[in-house]
Amino acid sequence: MLRIDIISGVPELLRSPLDHSIVGRARENNLVEVHTHDLREYSEDKHHKIDDAPYGGGAGMVMTAQPIFSCIRKLQSERTYDDVLFTAADGKKFEQKDANKLSLRKNIIILCGHYKGVDQRVRDELITGEFSIGDFVLSGGELPALVMTDAVIRLLPGVLGDAESALTDSFQDDLLEPPVYTRPAEFEGMEVPVVLRSGDHKKIAEWRSDMAIERTKQRRPDLYKKFNKKN
């Protein structure tokens, strides 16, 4: 069973998303373990500080090395971790293929960035992978950590009610999902495409494939280019 340990200076931000919906049910059903760790509990500072001013001056504060080293080393003394990940604005863009790989791991640590950054010695010595969820700046790494956690957990066996659902998600094959419809067949003059109501599974599969390719071509030409190279 996969175990994910998330280290944060503000773990309160993590709790509600981890306790509800698909992730919450997966935890309740013992399909995954997710544990949060308050970085301040590992600080040796009398005020439990986890940040300080940067050497050389400049704006903002920097996460200090000591609490992070103490927390990660404690966790590593209890079990072996496949990855120690850091949510960083300058990290590699997190993609579906990364979620796929991480879903096959056994134990993962995710360190949430905060403030202006983290002491470089943490990144040099402890971190095995760094991820960003986009070219924009957030107040901290908690939201990216939740995004990554959700993307990984939904791939685990038994988490989704339909085992095929995760395999047909957008980005799994460098294509976006085709349009989807549900009842009623007609709503305010708008009808569901006839082919989807035909019962002809071969034609439905062909329609979905064509629509996925066309939607990707229109909305994500970068993905369409990758798809074309592979096919």
Count other C-beta atoms under 10 Å from residue 216's C-beta: 25
Q: Could you read off the pLDDT of 28-77 as tens digits, one per residue?
A: 999 999 999 999 999 999 999 999 999 999 889 999 999 999 999 999 99
Q: What is the pLDDT of residue 166?
A: 61
- Percent of the chain with pLDDT strictly greater than 90: 88
Note the pLDDT of residue 93.
96
Q: Give me 24's structure tokens.
A: 């919450």
Amino acid at 211: M
pLDDT greater than 80 at residue 218: yes
- Pairwise CA distance, residues 179 & 184, whole Å: 15
State pLDDT tens for residues 150-201.
Answer: 999 999 999 997 655 665 555 677 899 999 999 999 999 999 999 999 999 9
Per-residue model confidence (pLDDT) at position 165? 63
Output the CA torsion 21→26→32→34 (10° steps). 30
pLDDT of residue 173: 79
Mean pLDDT of 5-20: 97
H helices, E strands: number in the chain: 8, 10
Q: What is the DSSP string of 198-224?
A: S--HHHHHHHHHHHHHHHHHHH-HHHH
Rounded mean pLDDT of 189-214?
96
- H or E element in which residue 130 lies: strand 129-132
Domains and CATH numbers, the chain: 2-153 (3.40.1280.10), 170-230 (1.10.1270.20)
For residue range 122-138, list pLDDT tens digits in order.
Answer: 999 999 999 999 999 89
Q: At residue 231, what is the residue type?
A: N
Look at residues 112, 154, 126, 119 and name the one whose alpha carbon lies nearest to residue 5: 112
Phi and psi dihedrals of 143, rounded to 5? -65, -45
pLDDT of residue 161: 75
Instruction: Give the pLDDT of residue 231.
Output: 80
Q: What is the mean pLDDT of the chain?
A: 94
